[in-house]
Structure 1
């Protein structure tokens, strides 16, 4: 099966479905990526914060070596973490991700969050009381470093993640190279239609992370799979609630990147291209949206760049 793709404003293409790897444990993610590629996935999402870039890279390189894929067949996304937002840190940090992955370029390099943490080796730097230490580094400065990654050929495309409409507007005003993608949380609970429409107007594509609502999350957020609307659609289309969720995100115009390390679920999640939800069904799913996020980063609320203080 040929995966549908979306074309960035710079001409590069991104497969509209991928494998998420957040919280995939060492020793598990390598096999998950290999199996996903064998299944037909051609879009793999990771981040420096996840701590699994090396295993993701090993899996991709192994499949290239086996002849299953070429480098140009697979689309790899990784992200800049908030402890390296100073302009001077961005290129060295991107190069470190490339070393971890063992690849010559990243297809899409994203600023993971608009807010910054205290610079250094600690991913979540804390003071003596345990409070997260923020930095006042402006993401506009960070973006200048991202543009240099693109100019140097370290990344074919650059973008953002978890940015709201006002922050995107600021980036667009200052940028010499515009972001091609905004990766945002999107699920049955989190209806991002206004932000997707905003991005579309500015020729920015969207990737939807945690489309399954991160089952078993520690925040107690229910993923709405048991809702009568979802159960009814699941029965009608002979699809699982997870497949309904991924199809919903896809039809909303975002590329879903569900995370799984289980072979059966990796295969199941991928099987969403043989049916389509009607406009009425899309609206019925939107109507049950609770707005509950599994990725709020509440500890960073004091930052002037915290993104969730406005509707979208």
Structure 2
């Protein structure tokens, strides 16, 4: 279901961490071999991530070119005039000269301003009048300016991805679509679609969460596979599995989406109305 080519540290997992904890976590992660750091403006911890990265580079533990660092454009910055400033802000906070990959975090643009989640009196998101195709043009400019090496998307359904790929005068196609993916949400159709268009898939929430009082890592099927291979439940996703094991894991699919972003269901570009 997911690429095994590089260990990924998802920095959104550090939401609510005490001061200094994210920096230390990044240092430890680099020391044990993590090289792909998945960041985003909206996680509000890019400063600490940057401190951790620079600390390890200065001590010679890793070279910048051996790291793959990702950040994401937040929804309040979808206006073309705001995209470069948003990217530059993340670069400055991360203390980097370039990003290896910059993603459009969601296909939905929000009203620009100070609030990350501008909402109306009903608690629903206030959309901007932007179109993600126009936002993409500004992201393409980041590549030509040398600020980012590649660009991609996140949380796009197949219709939205197809619309982007069919965009007239597309200069840079999205290299990846980062989506929620785990045994309770296998995303078979969306992954197949992405692969058919030569767009890679990056999984978030790969260890899933709770459903009906049971946590994914406690699922009997996963526990059985883990015991068979003398691994922990989480490690089941970190080495080669047999075709039988993969069939058993894929059979757990419940179409259970954990990241539904309900306050944005009023948005014209809400991605989860589509079947996949």
Instruction: Give the TM-score range, shorter chain.
Output: over 0.9
Q: Which residue of 2 aligns with 1:22?
A: 12
CA distance in 1, matches of 2:268, 2:186: 24
Q: Is the 8 A contact 2:125 2:266 kept in 1?
A: no
Aligned length: 269
Q: Which residue of 2 aligns with 1:293?
A: 257
CA-atom RMSD in angstroms:
1.7
The 1:68/1:4 distance shift into structure 2, 3 A limit, reads farther
Matched, 1:111 2:101: no
The 1:298/1:53 distance shift into structure 2, 3 A limit, reads same
Matched, 1:208 2:212: no
1:214 offset after TM fit, Å? 4.5
SS at match of 2:202: strand
Matched, 1:55 2:55: no
Question: Given the two structures, how large is their TM-score scaled by the length of structure 2?
Answer: 0.92
Q: Which residue of 1 aligns with 2:180?
A: 185
Match 1:281 to one of 229, 245, 249:
245
Q: Is the 8 A contact 2:207 2:216 kept in 1?
A: no
Q: Is the 8 A contact 2:124 2:266 kept in 1?
A: no
CA distances 1:49-108 after superposition (whole Å, capped 9, x unpaired): 000111111111110001011110110011001111111111110000001101000000
CA distance in 1, matches of 2:219, 2:226: 11
Q: Which residue of 1 aligns with 2:118?
A: 125
Q: Which residue of 2 aligns with 1:302?
A: 266
Q: Which residue of 1 aligns with 2:275?
A: 311
1:129 offset after TM fit, Å? 4.4
Q: Which residue of 2 aligns with 1:37?
A: 30
Q: Is the 8 A contact 1:213 1:222 kept in 2?
A: no
Question: Given the two structures, how large is their TM-score scaled by the length of structure 1?
Answer: 0.82
Gaps of 5+ in 2: none
CA distance in 2, matches of 1:279, 1:92: 47
SS at match of 1:134: coil
1:148 offset after TM fit, Å? 0.7
Q: Which residue of 2 aligns with 1:240?
A: 232
Q: Is the 8 A contact 2:125 2:267 kept in 1?
A: no
Moved more, 290-299 or 58-67: 290-299
CA distances 1:32-55 after superposition (whole Å, capped 9, x unpaired): 111000000110111000001111
Q: Which has the higher contact order (CA 8 A, sep 6+)?
A: 1
Q: Is the 8 A contact 1:189 1:223 kept in 2?
A: no
